[in-house]
Structure 1
């Protein structure tokens, strides 16, 4: 009854799609069963179970079949999402599976979904200790919140976070539930399994109330982090520029500790993994106080911090596109650099950049040309190499090679989103061209 009450308070709300993350294990099975008991009491919602098949275990298909059978018995719809993991260096398979699972759920659920997860107080204890082992601050030690905002208007709900594993097992036995055991849970090479199997039993035997105590500490850390974020947001609102970068002079006006807090908040709001304390310690001496013409760069995982024109940029560590060109044959949209860049065309003004050319039979190519090509922008008196114009316009060096260029009959006619060449700035047969946002600086 206690589990039912813990869940029901989150269902007492206006109609929303309810998705239950269902792995087939005992925790998620109990959560799904409890929600199934409550569906008649809260008929305003649409209920769906969602199962993410990582394909990591030889038993993955058997688990999926089990989930399908259980959902059929409970008369609740099941949505299965397949995930193909590509293991990357310096990242554990546990973390990759977790990230892939959340990404898959985000993609498979509607924007306003409530997504129920089955973590409980023992999971919270494990998470806290793992964060402590990593040297985390208040944000990491906050561990898992009971309610967490996701992308769009999605909200993640952990209704059992104050309930124990023992309560969940007791419910499962009372209702004669059958579940699947993930064989990887027995592999103590994984940190969480090592804690669960070898460390926590002794700790809990000596201190039975440890999980509740740690949950209170996590809550206190969360409250402290919330206050830090509130003040950091005030700083960030004055430091962040319209282009999304940070103003270095204003950042340096803060103490070193507040600089780090503001940068962490800035990164977290863009869903970028936070750098380690060691990396954070390098930002001020190696970037913020670097010379104006410095090409300094700090990198972690797949991200880079760079400075240019007294601004701090965050960049995805993706290789520059090949010097490809595509011939435009009337399409509304062309993709470049493996879909990293998209360019839109229209014969009607769509508030994009305007290119005028004289003949519809002209060959129009778009892609990445040489920065040594001569170029004379409309309104300028002289022609000079493209790279000189980009330097004059203070375009960051790493952006110069990824600006789509338009060629008409072999002549450089336009820098998409920036300017048009003089000889193509007037005439007949107009076409509007603009690049679509790709989410990066």
Structure 2
């Protein structure tokens, strides 16, 4: 008979993550609430942190895009939980763009992140509940899509946003099992969304069908995936440093790319330069096919053409002087 391992106290993991951020007095710390055990664990840890560090400002945000018929009831539960804690909460309903060529989930995610950034103060730290299992699933999903090092890097433990804001994932090395154990032990309120068990959804299929089998066969599989993601992130960081020397001088004060210099470059450098430019502007990355369309239309067509390429809520156009302009649709 096997006995369960002792409960892992996640608070030291959480505080160590925040200690690396060089926080300043009055800086805003925001718990991003979806309602699941992971984000509710973040809220509980931040609430504990608040009692020890009153010099910071605290907020929880829940944005409801009404994808689930019970989402209104879930929001009420989160409001009641924050009221019990006397933890400041902002909640609102989001209107998500829809259309034949728009992914509802992707549009919901991008709209949610954009709205949270608007609600946060400059230099705010947004705390997200993604964990070890999410990272493994993200790596495998990117592998399925044929992604390169940037996609295979997975989610960053700390990512920069606009206005010196940062998106932080303190529990990225913590398993979902450990989070559930913490949530049960501390009797947290959380919501179980039954769609999380729908294996027709790719991420859920990996979570419930694929990853458990891989880890039964190779117990260290998850750690190997995390190591590969970390190595890909390191390679991408190095590439960005090298590209910055060559490409940043071509980006003007308005964020437009002077593309004429790139026209004689190799296709590999052209693609890397376009990715770097889009990344610097905070745009979502196009697929390889879309990037190739962007490269050929913008860098290889004649001077009198006026091309335009659209993907995922963004469009790139080119002026007659070969300047590329990125706009949000």
TM-score (structure 2 length as normaliser): 0.89
Q: Name the residue aligned to 1:179.
A: 190
CA distance in structure 2 between the aligned counterparts of 1:3 and 1:235, rounded to whole angstroms: 43
Q: 1:9 maps to what in 2?
A: 16
Deviations along 1:379-430, whole A, 9 cap, x unmatched?
xxxxxxxxxxxxxxxxxxxxxxxxxxxxxxxxxxxxxxxxxxxxxxxxxxxx
The reply on whether 1:221 has 2:228 as its aligned counterpart is no
User: Which segments of structure 1 move beyond 6 Å, counting only runs of 4 or more?
Assistant: none
Report what 2:5 is aligned to. Answer: none
Higher strand share: 1
Determine the structure 1 residue equivalent to 2:128.
Answer: 117
Aligned mates of 2:290, 2:278 — CA distance in 1: 13
Return the structure number with greater relative CO, CA threshold 8 A, min gap 6.
2
More helix by share: 2
How many Å apart are 1:259 and its aligned residue? 1.3
Partner of 1:192: 203
CA distance in 1, matches of 2:204, 2:70: 19
Instruction: Identify unmatched segments of 5+ residues in structure 2.
Output: 1-7
| Residue correspondence of structure 1 range 264-275 to structure 2 within 5 A | 264-275=275-286
Shift of 1:246: 3.1
> Which string of whole-angstrom CA distances, capped at 9 and with x for unpartnered residues, describes residues 9-48 of structure 1?
2444322111101122111111211222222222211222
Q: Which residue of 1 aligns with 2:167?
A: 156
Q: In the alignment, is the contact (CA less than 8 A) between 2:257 and 2:325 conserved in 1?
A: no
Cα deviations by residue, 1:236-264 (Å, 9 ceiling, x for unpaired): 13333456443333112432211111111
Structure 1 range deviating more: 47-56 or 4-13 = 4-13
User: CA contact under 8 A between 2:256 and 2:326: conserved in structure 1?
Assistant: no
The CA deviation at 1:55 is 1.4
- Equivalent-residue separation in structure 1 for 2:313 and 2:185 (angstroms): 48
Matched residue, 2:3: none
Distance 1:22 1:278 in 2: 35
Q: Aligned residue for 2:147? A: 136
Pair 1:146 & 2:157 matched:
yes
Trace 1:7-406 onto structure 2 (pairs within 5 A): 7-12=14-19, 13-15=23-25, 16-241=27-252, 244-316=255-327
Q: CA deviation at 1:287?
A: 3.5
Deviation (angstroms), 1:269: 1.6
Q: Distance in 1 between matches of 2:277 and 2:193?
A: 37
Q: Distance in 2 between matches of 1:262 and 1:183?
A: 42
Going from structure 1 to structure 2, the CA distance change for 1:190 and 1:92 (only over 3 Å counts) comes to: farther
**Alignment-derived partner of residue 4 in structure 2:** none
| SS at structure 2 position matched to 1:67 | helix
The secondary structure found in structure 1 opposite 2:29 is strand
State the shift of 1:81 in Å.
2.5
Secondary structure in 1 matching 2:265: coil
Answer with 181-190 or 299-308: which moved more: 299-308
**Counterpart position of 1:338:** none
Determine helix, strand or coil for the equivalent of 1:156.
strand
CA distance in 2, matches of 1:317, 1:48: 29
| Runs of 5+ consecutive residues of structure 1 not aligned to the other structure | 319-441
- Secondary structure (helix, strand or coil) at the match of 1:237 reads helix
1:284 CA drift (Å): 4.5
Give the number of the structure whose alpha-carbon radius of gyration is greater.
Answer: 1
Matched position secondary structure for 2:10: helix
**3-state secondary structure, aligned to 1:148:** strand
Cα gap change, 1:106/1:201 in structure 2, threshold over 3 Å: closer, same or farther?
same
CA, structure 1 residues 182+253, in 2 after alignment: closer, same or farther (shift >3 Å)?
A: same
Give the 3-state SS of the residue equivalent to 2:301 in structure 1.
Answer: coil
Cα pair distance change 1:310/1:172, threshold 3 Å:
same
Q: Cα distance 1:243–1:33, how it changes in 2: closer, same or farther (>3 A)?
A: closer
Q: CA RMSD in A?
A: 2.1
Q: In the aligned structure 2, how far is the partner of 1:27 from the partner of 1:108?
A: 22
Q: CA deviation at 1:66?
A: 0.9
1:148/1:244 CA distance change after superposition, 3 Å: closer
Distance (whole Å) between structure 1 residues aligned to residue 95 and residue 317 of structure 2: 32
